[in-house]
A = this chain, B = another copy of it.
Amino acid sequence: MKWIGVVDTMFSRVNMGEIALEALAAKPDRGQRFDVVRRTVPGFKDLAVEAQLLIQSHGCAIVLVMGMPGAEAVDQICAHEASLGVMAAKLRTSTHILEAFVHESEAGGDEAQLAAICRDRCAKHALNAYDMLFDPGSLVARAGGGVRQGFADAGRVKVEA
């Protein structure tokens, strides 16, 4: 059985971890082929090391980290630092860590919209994590498909032979 790690933050205004847990709970092979472990950290700059710990100490085969950068300029720099940390944790562990960040500014101040983006992005990335473990061919089939999380897909541009 493989472990999928799910890490979110207290700082986020939406319970992103719960969304991911629900998406994965709907899989019929939950508890047989995989199970989920969840952690919460204070803010998104704490996600990288928690993901690394889940891989190193808990044996997770993949981790999904979720956070919500605020709307201030300093929040963008912090999000950049958080992402660089997640990138470094992937390379240190040679393990995929999917990053689902929802910037508060994406919703333009509309809380229902904010929740909708979180629901879509976190659920889709949870399913991506599942596919990367158990059905990598399905990703190749979608290569170049303009696939998006949080919004509708952007669509494919054909290359003339």
Interface residues of A (CB under 8 A from B): 8-19, 38-42, 45-46, 48-50, 52-53, 56-57, 70, 74, 76-78, 80-85, 87-92, 94-99, 103, 111-112, 114-115, 118-119, 125, 128, 132, 136, 139-140, 142-149, 154-160
Contact = CB atoms under 8 A, between A and B. Distances in A.
B11 A42 contact: no
A40 B139 contact: yes
Given A98-B46, A99-B45, A147-B42, A142 B10 contact: yes
B74 A77 contact: no
B48 A115 contact: no
23 contacts: A11-B148, A14-B156, A15-B143, A16-B144, A17-B143, A18-B143, A38-B140, A40-B136, A42-B147, A42-B149, A46-B96, A46-B98, A49-B90, A57-B94, A70-B154, A74-B103, A84-B87, A87-B88, A88-B91, A114-B157, A115-B159, A118-B159, A119-B159
